[in-house]
Every structure is written in structure tokens, then in C-alpha cells.
A and B are shown apart, each in its own frame.
Chain A
Amino acid sequence: MTSVNAQTTLQAPAQGRSTGFGWFAVLFLIAAQVTAIVISPPDRDMGDLQKIMYVHFPVALNTFTCFFVVLLFSVRFLWQRREQDDLLAASAAEVGTIMTGLTLALGMLWGRPAWGVWWVWDPRLTSTLVLFLIFAGYLALREFVEDPERRGVWSAAVGILGALNVPIVYMSVRWWRTLHQVQSSPSTVDPSYVIGIRLNLTAVLLLTIFLIWRRYEAALTERAAEHVLQTAALGGANA
């Protein structure tokens, strides 16, 4: 069995590399939200409720970005057994889980006034809840397994399984047409809303990249500290 390849390569990241990018992402998101709210007129049917779409849709779509990163780096971990890949996948999973929870909460805030209910067992809502629960399980699993190799392999397996649920979530509105609307596109949305949606999609993408990067830096620093202690202990034992 191949062992985790981390002993000689794990290094703590340089301090503060991501901070500037983080500030840019947060300020960009504020600017995007203000712009979208100010320039878009109330919707003919839904009125101001339409403005929830500037947070709900970008957050929902970027959960897919997170779980794509999980898929990519979980597969690479199983292939190359680099611990950094496992840490990056776990960082993306944590951010993705939080964003999925937020997507569900925002969807409920939309559903109550638009549909008259906070929750309905619609295929889109249900498959998103399943996605959330799979990755909540992924994060719980990591807390219970101490051995880095076993933790990495088991996490990668759950991460790949969870990420395979993403196409089901995406296609659920087409396969089982119930309450949740099908995907919109610039051709089906009034042009006055498109710029706001694009700006917020970009802003949430930048914020997502920053959050994953920052979480990865913290995980890497923590593991680097553990490696220093292990190396010192091994050196002491060999002396």
C-alpha cells in the first residue's frame, strides 16, 4: 500500500499571501450587491423578492465549484497520495458545505413568500439537502479518523461520491419537473437583471476561491506544525 507522501514536502505557507485577495473579494462582493440592488427594477410579478436571486443563485452555483475542487483533488490524492491534495479537498468541502447550508436557507427565505411554504420535498431541494448531508458526514468523518492516510482515503471516497451527486442536483429540475424552476439563461432573463447576476456570480466565485485558499493555508500550517513535532520526536528516538 502506498503511504501518504507528506513528510518531506509539507511546509507552512508564507504569512499573509491571501489577505489582499480576500479584501478584494469582499469589497467586490459589496460593490456587486449594491450595484445589482440599485440598478435592477422590481420584478413585475415578484416585486423586490427577485433581489434574493443575487445571493441565492451565485451561492448555489459556487457550491458546485467547491465540490468540483473536492472531486479533482480527491481523485489526485488517491492517485498520488500527496497530503496537500487531501487538505485542499477537505478545505473545499468545508466551504462547500457551509455554502450549501446557506443556499438551503436562502431558498427557504425565497420559498415562503413565493411558494407559500418554507420547505417542500421537491427533487431540487431534496437532492441539495442530500448533498449537504453527505458533506456534513465527510467533515464528521475527518474528525473521527486520526491516521492521515486512512482519513485521506476515506474522505476521498466520500468526497467523490458526494461530488457525483452534483449533476443530479443540477439536472433534477429537468428530470423531475415539480415546483423549483428550471435553470435560467441570459436569453430567458430580462437584460436589466443579467448584469447584476453576472457581477454577483463573479464576486461569489472570488470569495469562494479566497475562503478555500485561506482554509487550506490554515490546514497546511497546522499539519506543518505536526510534522515538525513528529520529525523532532523521530530524531530524539534515533539519537
Chain B
Amino acid sequence: MPENIYFVTAAYVATWLVIIGYLLRLRALMARARESLAHANASGAAS
């Protein structure tokens, strides 16, 4: 069944799209959280 190779390829592509997509989301979340913390520390120190 040579057409099976398309399903196999789709499975691996889907897996890596999910992994890379979630890693990018985590990076964005982390950057936003660090920015919030830096801002909060600056505000806290100012008050």
C-alpha cells in the first residue's frame, strides 16, 4: 500500500507542528510573564 506513506508523513508532520507550535506559545508566554514581572518589580520599587 504505497499511499500509506502519505498518512505516515502526515502523522509525523502533525506531531512536529504541534510540538513546535506549543514551544513557540510557551516562549511567548514566558517572555510576557517576565516582562510583567519586571514591570511589577519596577512599579513596586517606585511605590
Name A's B-contacting residues (CB within 8 A).
Answer: 12, 15, 22, 26, 29, 33, 46-49, 51-52, 55-56, 59, 95, 98, 101-102, 105-106, 109-110, 112-113, 207, 211, 214-215, 217-219, 221-222, 224-226, 228-229, 231-232, 235-236
Question: When chains A and B are docked, how far (Å) is the Cα of A21 from the Cα of B43?
Answer: 33
A106 with B33: CB separation less than 8 A: no
Q: A225-B33, A236-B47 are in contact. List 19 more A-B contacts (CB 8 A).
A: A12-B33, A49-B7, A51-B8, A59-B15, A101-B18, A102-B15, A106-B11, A109-B11, A110-B11, A211-B23, A218-B33, A219-B33, A221-B30, A221-B36, A224-B37, A225-B39, A232-B43, A232-B47, A235-B47
B14 with A215: CB separation less than 8 A: no
Question: When chains A and B are docked, how far (Å) is the Cα of A51 from the Cα of B4?
Answer: 10
Question: When chains A and B are docked, how far (Å) is the Cα of A171 from the Cα of B27?
Answer: 37
With CB as the reference atom, state the residue of chain A lying closest to B32. A222
A221 with B7: CB separation less than 8 A: no
Query: B interface, how many residues as a size bin?
Result: 20 to 34
Name B's A-contacting residues (CB within 8 A).
Answer: 1, 3-5, 7-8, 10-12, 14-15, 18-19, 22-23, 26, 29-30, 32-34, 36-37, 39-41, 43-44, 47
Residues of B within 8 A of A113 (CB): 1, 3-4, 7
Residues of B within 8 A of A231 (CB): 44
A47 with B4: CB separation less than 8 A: yes
Among A47, A109, A221, A222, the residue within 8 A (CB) of B14 is A109
Minimum distance in angstroms from B43 CB to a CB of chain A: 6
Question: When chains A and B are docked, how far (Å) is the Cα of A48 from the Cα of B11?
Answer: 12
A106 with B14: CB separation less than 8 A: yes
With CB as the reference atom, state the residue of chain B lying closest to A221. B33
B26 with A229: CB separation less than 8 A: no
Q: A106-B14, A224-B37 are in contact. Are A48 and B22 (CB under 8 A)?
A: no
Residues of A within 8 A of B22 (CB): 95, 98, 211
Most buried by A among B4, B19, B34, B43: B4
Q: A113-B3, A217-B30 are in contact. Are A225 and B8 (CB under 8 A)?
A: no
A47 with B7: CB separation less than 8 A: no
A55 with B1: CB separation less than 8 A: no
B11 with A55: CB separation less than 8 A: yes
With CB as the reference atom, state the residue of chain B lying closest to A101. B18
A218 with B29: CB separation less than 8 A: yes
B40 with A226: CB separation less than 8 A: yes
B15 with A221: CB separation less than 8 A: no
